[in-house]
Structure 1
Amino acid sequence: MNSPRIIRLEDLPVEMLMEIFIYFTADQIYFSFSQLNNYFNLILKSLPKLILVVHEHLDPFVLSFFNSFNKILVKFCDSHINRYRCRCQSHSINGGNRLYEIYPMIDPGWYLEFNKNLFPYYPSKIDNIIHPDNYSRLQSLVLPHASSKLTQLIFNGEFPRLKFCHLGICESVNVSFSMTTQLQNLRQLTIRGRLQGHVLEKILMVCPCLVYLDFSCDDSIPPFHFINCCFPSLKYLRLGRLHNFFFHNGQFVFLLSLFPNLLQFHLVGEQCPYNVETINIQDIANYLHRQCPLLKILVLCIFMQGHINGFFDSFKKITEMHSLFNYVERCEWRLTISSHDFIPHSHYICRYTRPSCR
């Protein structure tokens, strides 16, 4: 049986065209195909999986042409920021199994007011991109920073299909303990900034099904009052930079007990300056053994107020305390213990590598 010969792109079945356009971003589709004919424009505007990637400039005609987007990614690792921060290229998130791929790893100084002249889009401009027509359709959102308005809309449940939400630096987060909304579909969340520590408990209550959480604040984490259960779905966790953090008063153990199935854990904590505890690395290793038996990747970054000089001759012993203590690095008052090579772009005074990892 002879089938009709297809000589024009628009003669392809609509289902096939939609599969083809998955591999293009919204601006590529607009500039390459939007001027063909009205029939083709109807197909383009109805694409169910449309990705908007924003670099330094976004043509307003792209926004006005399409009705809504499935994914929105605003790039921010350009040459300006690389001059001040890490020189890695911007990477897309890969299933949530890498905590370091989207944002700079070093928290201090990476704040909105420091870099607001370096980002191509202020939070208010990003709000204009994410208009109400996108609310019910959006599944993935990756931003360098987010306004308090947008953050509030997300936690109020205005984006019911949102699964991957990486907000970067947030101006503020207002999540009430009395909120009944739960973001059951949300699997990945990044939220950083000068936030209050109690926001962490609120986020865990509102987002009970998270697999990936990257949370940074400029505060200490107070005791939890409402959470009395664990979160077995969480596999990848980054917390930083937590102030007045204690390892031996039950805070660290309680924190680990909330996430029994962790595969990757990155903690940046500062010792309390007015109540300095003597840190026992062997005890920390024991806590990790008991609470996180599945752990595969680990970074502990401790800003110590004192007693760090006592660790100079103990780096080798530290690597013998836990199977993931493979690399030990010291920079002034910061002690870093990691499982997979040294942290890129960090400054250090001395390092030690477990012999089997050299």
Structure 2
Amino acid sequence: MAEAMTVPQRVRGLFRLTALAGLALLSACQTIVPRGPAPAPEQKAPPPVSSTEVQPGLPRDTARNRVALLVPLSGANAGVGKSLANATQLALLDSRNDKVRITSYDTATGAGPAAQRAIAEGAQLILGPLLAEDVRAVTPVARAAHVPVLSFSNDVSVAGDGVYLMGYTPGQSIERVVSYARSKGVTNFGGLIPNSLYGSRASTTFLRAVESSGGKVVSLQTYDRAAGAMAAAVARMAKDAPFDGVLIADSGAAAAAGAPLVRKSSPQVRILGTELWNSDSGIAARGALDGAWYASVSNGLYRQYAAKYRARFGAAPYRLSSLGYDAVLLTVRISHDWKIGAPFPEARLRSGEGYAGIDGAFRFGRDGVAERALEVQEVKAGGTTIVSPAPGNFAR
């Protein structure tokens, strides 16, 4: 468990008082004891226990509400976990908030026990965890204590009933890029989908989005991670060519490998991508994706945040760390109506109220999933260009 805080003023004062008491005791040892029988020692009542005395474990805090950050601080995912923890520290400093205290707990040693410790130590709100399986371990513990969870996962199956997801969900980005493609005349769609849970959910959203927008999915092919699997999927799809647009629901690197194969059968095809591309720092250097469209959160404010993060911590942040920063901004905003020591006002999260952060505007739907205002970007040589800005407000 790690926590960024300074030594309380009362503790420093206690150190000074202890030193003065030691000097007084030394002076008393140098006094002359009179002859004769010593008087009976005076019976004194024991001193009262001060409510501000330092106690084992975390000190009591009557001036701030406790928030727990549950992220992996060791193990394979320690890098992103520590980046999220740094982001929360930066957000507290930037917001100059003095009503919220964040304590970090390592989920790599057990997410359920970490949640139990956090709640036992007074946490009234949980930020994290990062992984869906950790959210499942934390959920029953948090629900039993009526403590809301703001998770960084993008697995919509773990949302609801006190669990809120801030992660970027593939469904929203696919719906946004398909809608934009339709507005630009793309009618016949193809899809290349990896055999995974992500791919399964992406394909369902893709089919629904194309149908609802008046387009047509001509071919939908899946592939695994074996060598040559994507090429085989493209060869199967080519039988139904040509296409106006093809969604490759995979990373930027995988899409860059598949795009040239797709263009052999459909030279004028528009390649479409998902929010995964936004976490690929080298996306602009992938020439095979020149002209491709993908939908994601905005990067405008993130660039400023990343520069500030590097200046403070001496390293670049993980792209997902902005979720930690925005979770703190949301908490700080609500803290104005959060009485010290009272339960977190969860009703604010269910109200449909919109929030602004590094990743743009968002709000929580009835399902507990963050609905985000997404922009559409086009990959260009040496960079990306916004071809459809994020909407200024949410449609009701």
TM-score (norm 2): 0.32
If you compute each CA radius of gyration, which structure gives the higher value, 1 or 2? 2
TM-score (norm 1): 0.34
Q: Which has the higher helix share?
A: 2
Greater RCO between the two (CA within 8 Å, min separation 6)? 2
